[in-house]
């Protein structure tokens, strides 16, 4: 039976202290990777994830940065390389949170924040970490997108605009760096069950679940499993993919 084995690999997970990011970081660790856990403000949770990873026998470090600021991302890169060496895997998961409103009511600042943390975030992470992958002739870039991007539902304009811009950047990056044996893919979750939903007891959402072919919401572990696969040698000939992990809520067509 084939297994996902990331032993000897180093990963960076942005938003690694967040609801989804912490599960991604722990899953990569269970697969054998050493992990840099990025955080913006929640150092306590990042440190908790690092302790979990160290408890698995992994090397791990918490690193702080504003992912929309070039100097901060480059400083984060230097800290990661010093602690763990050049990463071969980056998971671009961080994104700014904001209240969703219709376009006429949505503040312009929210569109700017989504551009900064979706598009610019991915550009800066590529500039910081892909050169090391090119040098090593191996790399995995995984962007966390959303099934909202193809659904284009009312009220989601700023989020969808940022994620669609991110999609364009990563598809082009896949073509630009493929010759170096670097893959670039996206995982697009639906409305996912994470620690917050479990704590609130809000896992079940019957109206939403009725619209999902698999008739259930996905979990943070479902998303992390897809990330681990795309980070592994099992996915070595897969690049440029937008992969919904949403139970069939969206089905990209040919």
Give the length of the chain: 254
Q: Of the candidates 187, 166, 185, which has an alpha carbon nearest to the alpha carbon of residue 175?
A: 185
On whether residue 254 sits in a domain, the answer given is no
Quote the pLDDT of residue 3: 82
Rounded Cα gap, residues 155 and 115, in angstroms: 17
On whether residue 61 sits in a domain, the answer given is yes
pTM passes above 0.85? yes
Q: Is 166 helix (H, G, I), strand (E, B) or coil?
A: helix
Count Cα neighbours of 47 within 13 Å in the Cβ-side half-sphere.
4
Instruction: Work out the mean pLDDT of the chain and round it to a whole number.
Output: 97
Quote the pLDDT of residue 36: 98
Write the pLDDT tens digit of every residue in 143-164.
999 999 999 999 999 999 999 9
CA distance to 18, 57, 202, 221, per residue, from 195 (Å): 10, 24, 10, 11
Write the pLDDT tens digit of every residue in 158-205.
999 999 999 999 999 999 999 999 999 999 999 999 999 999 999 999
pLDDT classification of 1: cutoffs 50, 70, 90: low
For residue 16, pLDDT beyond 90: yes
Is 166 buried (19+), middle (13-18) or exposed (0-12) by CB count in 10 A?
A: buried
Domain count along the chain = 1
- Contact between 141 and 90 under an 8 Å Cβ cutoff? The reply is yes
Write the pLDDT tens digit of every residue in 83-141.
999 999 999 999 999 999 999 999 999 999 999 999 999 999 999 999 999 999 999 99
On whether residue 4 sits in a domain, the answer given is no
> Phi and psi for 35 in degrees, rounded to 5?
-140, 130
On whether residue 114 sits in a domain, the answer given is yes
Write the pLDDT tens digit of every residue in 54-91.
999 999 999 999 999 999 999 999 999 999 999 999 99
Positions marked catalytic: 159
On whether residue 251 sits in a domain, the answer given is no
On whether residue 250 sits in a domain, the answer given is no
On whether residue 137 sits in a domain, the answer given is yes
For residue 232, pLDDT beyond 90: yes
Rounded Cα gap, residues 173 and 149, in angstroms: 19
> Which domain does 132 fall in, by range?
10-245
- The CATH number of the domain where 94 resides is what? 3.40.50.720
Rounded Cα gap, residues 106 and 101, in angstroms: 5
Strands (E), the chain: 10-13, 34-39, 60-64, 89-92, 139-144, 182-189, 242-245
Rounded Cα gap, residues 130 and 159, in angstroms: 26
On whether residue 252 sits in a domain, the answer given is no
For residue 2, pLDDT beyond 80: no
């Amino acid at each position: 039976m084939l297994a996902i084995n990331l032993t000897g690999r180093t990963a960076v997970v942005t938003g690694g202290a967040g609801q989804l990011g912490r599960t991604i970081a722990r899953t990569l660790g269970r697969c054998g990777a050493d992990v840099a856990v990025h955080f913006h403000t929640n150092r306590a949770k990042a440190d908790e994830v690092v302790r979990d990873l160290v408890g698995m026998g992994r090397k791990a470090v918490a690193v702080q940065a504003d992912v929309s600021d070039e100097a901060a991302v480059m400083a984060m890169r230097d800290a990661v390389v010093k602690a763990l060496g050049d990463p071969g895997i980056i998971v671009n998961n961080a994104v700014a949170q904001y209240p969703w409103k219709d376009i006429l009511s949505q503040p312009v600042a929210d569109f700017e924040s989504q551009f900064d943390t979706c598009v610019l975030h991915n550009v800066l992470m590529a500039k910081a970490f892909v050169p090391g992958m090119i040098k090593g002739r191996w790399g995995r870039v995984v962007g966390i997108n959303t099934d909202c991007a193809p659904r284009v539902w009312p009220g989601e304009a700023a989020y969808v605009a940022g994620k669609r811009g991110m999609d364009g950047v990563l598809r082009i990056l896949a073509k630009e760096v493929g010759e170096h044996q670097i893959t670039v893919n996206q995982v697009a979750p639906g409305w996912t069950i994470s620690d917050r939903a479990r704590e609130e007891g809000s896992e079940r959402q019957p109206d939403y679940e009725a619209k999902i072919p698999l008739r259930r919401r996905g979990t943070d572990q479902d998303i992390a499993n897809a990330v681990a696969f795309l980070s592994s040698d099992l996915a070595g000939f897969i690049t440029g993919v937008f992969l919904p992990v949403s139970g069939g809520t969206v089905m990209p067509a040919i």
